[in-house]
Copies of this chain bind each other. A is one copy, B any other.
Amino acid sequence: MLNRKISRRSILLGAATTVVVVSSSRSARAQADPLPAWNDGPAKQAILDFVHAMDQVPQKDRIATFDQDGTLWVEHPVYTQAMFALERVHTLAPQHPEWKDQEPFKSVLANDEAAIAKFGERDWAEIVFATHAGMSQAEFQDIVGRWLATAKHPRFKRPYTELVYQPMREVMDYLRANGFKTYIVTGGGVDFVRNYAERIYGVPPEQVIGSSIATKYEIRDGKPELMRLPKLFFDDDHAGKAIGIDLFIGKRPYAAFGNSTGDREMLEWIGAGQGARLKMLVHHDDAQREYAYGPAGGLPDTHVGTFDQSLMDEAKAKGWVVISMKSDWKRVFAFD
């Protein structure tokens, strides 16, 4: 049953690449490749070997968790959700004349990039609460959906929802074809990500774990609503990712994918399980096709995940596989 699924999918995935392949044995190999956007190398091989080892694991325990920003889609120059929040401040400004003289809103409205780059946690919390709270869950979903339909990334000039890494989408598909449940475990807001996760990653709302603000049950006009409050409920980052996985799933995943120190504890938690466990980190070292930051240097990572030397050292010490965007990925985006 599973094998049939895989080979059907593999044929579909491989179809585009067979055109340039010459010998029949190479063609057969290309057709069987579930990861055509990956170059051959240790990262791709680690994924293939891991899935092979999963024959030993009951299907109900096959869980894989993926960080989102910087792991599944572009996070530079600023998280998509932060961009949403900044643009939302502009949209709401007419209803808040006081923001013109009040930080951090003043700097946002003045598009003062230097000031925004220096925002601390408290500034961002104020911006998030002003833009993400004070409405019902249904109203928030409507606002996010409408924003995503028109917003574009400043460099790629495409909707954010197109800036998904094609190799990672292939990994998700490949794992699902092998009986895995794929989860997103994001430091971002769970309700924001649920708005599009099924559409662009094939991950349903109940498999998105993320940070959340508190909500309050209220009867409005005789109808129950969940109102969003300006108060953090759960911070699903760093240790919060291990805690969130335990709280929402209650099982230790077999595979985890991240790209920053915010994913460190998630990878440690998965790695402490017995048997084959796949721990991977995306390293942004491709300034040409995407961005180069972290140990690859180049860009500042003020607003994005930090991939510092300590994470690289831990990866080496613990056998976590570092994915080089530049050398491991044949294609970065579906539109490449």
Contacts and interface: CB of A to CB of B under 8 A. Distances in A.
A232 interface: no
Contacts of A249: 205-206
A103 interface: no
A45 B243 CA distance: 42
Given A205-B251, A250-B208, A242 B268 contact: no
Contact of A223 (B206, B219, B246, B272): B272
Contacts of A181: 206
A251 B137 contact: no
The 8 closest A-B CB pairs, nearest first, are: A205-B250, A217-B239, A206-B249, A194-B250, A224-B268, A217-B242, A224-B272, A224-B269
16 contacts: A63-B206, A137-B246, A181-B206, A206-B248, A206-B249, A206-B251, A208-B250, A212-B247, A215-B243, A217-B239, A217-B242, A217-B269, A223-B272, A224-B242, A224-B265, A233-B247
A311 interface: no
A60 interface: yes
A69 interface: no
A135 interface: no
A206 B204 CA distance: 14
A268 B220 CA distance: 12
Size class of the A contact interface (CB-based, 8 Å): 20 to 34
Contacts of A215: 243, 246-247
Contacts of A212: 247
A239 B181 CA distance: 29
Nearest to A225: B272
Given A205-B250, A223-B272, 16 more contacts: A181-B206, A190-B247, A190-B250, A205-B251, A206-B249, A206-B250, A206-B251, A212-B247, A215-B243, A217-B239, A217-B265, A224-B265, A224-B268, A226-B243, A226-B246, A248-B248
Interface in A214-243: 215-217, 219, 223-224, 226, 233, 239, 242-243
B60 A204 contact: yes
Contacts of A268: 219, 224
